[in-house]
Structure 1
Amino acid sequence: MGVKSDGRPDRRHRKAKTESEVTKKVRALEKDRDAGRATTAGRAPTVEAWFDRWLTKVVAREVDENTLATSYEPTVRRHIIPGLGRHRIDAVRAEHIEDFYEHLANEKGLAPATILKVHWRLMASFQVATDRDMIKRNPVSLVAPPSGEALTEGEPLGRDEARALLRACRGRRLGIRWSLALTLGIRQAEALGLRWLYLKAACDPCRSVYDLQDLFATDTKVCPACGGQLHHEARIEWQLKHRPFRHGCEDITACTEGRHLIACPRGCEGHHKPKCKPGCKARHHQCPKRPCPTGCEGHGRECPNRVGGDYYFGRRKASGKGRGKQRLVLPIPPPLVKELRIHWQMQQHEADLAGEAWQGAEWDLVFATAVGAPIGKHTDWEDWKRLLAAAGVRDVRVHDGRHTAATILTELGADARTVQEILGHSQISQTERYIHVSSDQARAAVGRMSSALLDDR
């Protein structure tokens, strides 16, 4: 069959009850060899063994540690390994995967969005196995992805609602945080991880670049070198992330005893609380309760010797390979520069009040607590909810601010490619999910179509 990676001859063996069956298998091997579809030598690993390697050797080098611990590993450990782990990867068929999805939906009661995430993980891992010639074809590609209808759809704010929200931002301590997010469409973690170091002012005539905070400190509004007009930009390259808690004890099994969640018995009526109203639909109050996987080493938050729980800067979601694709440069409009100047002055006042407790020198965050420390996602979420209430605007998610930016940009005439660049998406199909056609837009478009086709009838 050729040579192995170490240079030794690659010889394969086939067994069967009759000579004709053996001959058939050998000819199949020769056909795959001649077509360049031969799998690697040796016995194919089980799904469990392969996914263990995929997580630790492949995914761990491509995604952030927090994403690995909170997204990839739970999906694999809780669902994929228990359901398909005993199969050899070269023996997995499309029918096995279809039955697996049906089991997740009917027996485990998983939401379509969760099953779709399982599908993405299966597709990615089996594709790596295919690319490495461990299997001939990715069986997941033969299965239609589960319906994503239950995925949370974006609910962008209308233009009037966005204006009301921006008016409510005036005078608030972190009002500029939401003004910037609604205007530029940056993610929550990108906004919370924005540092003064990455806010720049550039002069086109003399090509000089300055830190925005240095210009604020000297109250300079034109280029110090040539007196030319400056344009301002934000370099979105990092996200603020929170490292999950992990066990710091020696015996994790003893530490987690009595803390594991077990599967609900048949006939369980749910886990409603006394304050629940009749017909409560809260998802975490209903069955089936999500049980812990076999050999669970979670519950690190409850460990008396826990480690982790600190904040750190992680690379933003990249739109491609390489460092250059991970940096997104967005222009800052002049009105926001004025708000940033006021915000910087207020932050300097907070630093004077905090004295030795000030942590701004360490973090250099644009949006921080009163002592310059990072702001957590939940605290940021609470501030967003208070802002919505103050503005009298309907309740939407923090991430819907990103959908709002994309939709309003489209309403103002920006094409999908421009919106894609501003949002930093790698694929136009991803951007299209963020663009929502408002009723006014739809009526106007139909009206124009009517004028073009029906007016002269």
Structure 2
Amino acid sequence: MEKQREAKKVRKPGKAWTAKTWLTHWVENVAPLAVSDNTVVGHRFAVRKHLIPGLGAHRLDRLKPEHIEIFYAKMQANGDYEVEPYSVQEVKRLLSAAEKHRNSARWAVALALGLRQGEVLGLEWDDVDLEGGFLLVRRSRHRPQYAHGCAEPCGRKAAGYCPQRRRTNPELSTTKSRAGRRAVGLPDQLLDLLRNHLKGQEKERAAAKRWQENRLVFPDEQGRSPSHRRDWAEWKDLLAEANVRDGRLHDARHTAATVLLILGVPERAVMGLMGWSTTAMAARYQHMVDGVRSSIAGQVDALIWAADDAAGDGAD
């Protein structure tokens, strides 16, 4: 370019892209090269639902930080969801309620290890080393995407409702990023839960009239992987049963990450356990740590000093 400048042959720049043009190009051509299909689906939703309506008309060369700050403030004013991890007591209530249901260890894995929904649903027993005390995250189950399969227009706007719909993405795929492919250590209590879960699953398989053998850790009653929607509905039912405030399934992952940071686990180690590829992800959780740390400190204070006071009263 310097030689072209000296020779006065530098080409004039083309028309500047708008944020809409760039975001559309990025989510269709750039993002799929580095992240999973599930993540791309989330990106597409965010681009279509929020970013393009809020920022899409701006030219990229004229997009300023204040534009993004105003956009973010509007989203918050409209009630956009702010992440709040569950407290230790809430986690205990959730795990206690989960014990009454099949696949109860599924929720312990989410709350203790922070695995993503697709990672949990894609787990197979070959990924779990009950003797070594760890599991391998190396694949993910995808939400189905569909295209119309009808020869004549069926009248359904969404392809998912087409009577002849055809699936356009695979059910399972290996994790794309090196950060996503990881080994995760299992706490002793979770190991015991998984051992009992395996024994229960073997009995369920033997008693089932029909069983589709997939070696899945958390299958449905016929050995198949449950849908993301069913898994989500079971999470919502669990929240209600445990009398815990409503929240997204992804909040279980936020909870696990926050607890690791509270315990002082080095950021690089947390990145490895959570499957993050950049330190920016850790920063998203860091702002929540102080509030949760104070909550835990209060619980410890009540536990220790209440016990001391009781002992003192007894001595008198």
TM-score band, normalised by the shorter chain? 0.7 to 0.9
Gaps of 5+ in 2: 299-316
Please say which structure displays the higher CA radius of gyration: 1
1:231 aligns with 2:146: no
Note closer, same or farther for the CA distance 1:338–1:442 as it changes in structure 2 (3 Å cut).
closer
Match of residue 359, structure 1, among 188, 196, 212: 212
Corresponding pairs, count? 288
Note closer, same or farther for the CA distance 1:306–1:57 as it changes in structure 2 (3 Å cut).
same
In structure 2, the partner of 1:373 is 224
- Distance in 2 between residues matched to 1:68 and 1:250, nearest whole Å: 29
Q: Deviations over 1:71-99 (max 9, x none)?
A: 43x677x6xxxxxxxxxxxxxxxxxxxxx
- Distance in 2 between residues matched to 1:328 and 1:401, nearest whole Å: 19
Report the aligned-residue RMSD: 3.9
1:342 aligns with 2:243: no
Note closer, same or farther for the CA distance 1:410–1:232 as it changes in structure 2 (3 Å cut).
same
Larger RCO (CA under 8 A, 6+ residues apart): 2
Match of residue 5, structure 2, among 17, 31, 50: 31
- Distance in 2 between residues matched to 1:153 and 1:51, nearest whole Å: 23
1:416 aligns with 2:267: yes
**Which amino acid in structure 2 is aligned with residue 234 of structure 1?**
L
1:115 aligns with 2:16: no
Note closer, same or farther for the CA distance 1:63–1:44 as it changes in structure 2 (3 Å cut).
farther
Q: Deviations over 1:168-195 (max 9, x none)?
A: 2224211101111111111111111111
Could you tell me the TM-score, scaled by structure 2's length?
A: 0.74
Higher normalized helix content (fraction of residues) = 2
Shift of residue 310 of structure 1? 7.9
Question: Contact 2:37–2:142 (CA<8 Å) still a contact in 1?
Answer: no
- Residue 314 of structure 1 aligns to a residue whose secondary structure is strand
- Distance in 2 between residues matched to 1:63 and 1:422, nearest whole Å: 17
- Distance in 1 between residues matched to 2:141 and 2:108, nearest whole Å: 19
Match of residue 327, structure 1, among 181, 187, 192: 181
**Which amino acid in structure 1 is aligned with residue 88 of structure 2?**
R
Question: Contact 2:179–2:272 (CA<8 Å) still a contact in 1?
Answer: no
Match of residue 437, structure 1, among 281, 289, 292: 289
Shift of residue 403 of structure 1? 1.4
Question: Contact 1:185–1:423 (CA<8 Å) still a contact in 2?
Answer: yes
Note closer, same or farther for the CA distance 1:371–1:117 as it changes in structure 2 (3 Å cut).
farther
Trace 1:40-439 onto structure 2 (pairs within 5 A).
Answer: 58-65=30-37, 68=40, 71-72=43-44, 114-115=50-51, 139=61, 144=66, 146-147=68-69, 148-149=72-73, 150=76, 151-200=80-129, 212=130, 230-251=131-152, 254-256=153-155, 299-308=158-167, 312-316=171-175, 318=177, 324-355=178-209, 357-360=210-213, 363-435=214-286, 436-439=288-291
- Distance in 1 between residues matched to 2:187 and 2:42, nearest whole Å: 36
**Which amino acid in structure 1 is aligned with residue 212 of structure 2?**
Q
Could you tell me the TM-score, scaled by structure 1's length?
A: 0.53
Question: Contact 2:106–2:120 (CA<8 Å) still a contact in 1?
Answer: yes
Question: Contact 1:369–1:375 (CA<8 Å) still a contact in 2?
Answer: yes
Q: Deviations over 1:90-117 (max 9, x none)?
A: xxxxxxxxxxxxxxxxxxxx6xxx1279
Shift of residue 392 of structure 1? 2.4
Percent identity over paired residues = 30
Q: Deviations over 1:418-441 (max 9, x none)?
A: 322221212222122224135473
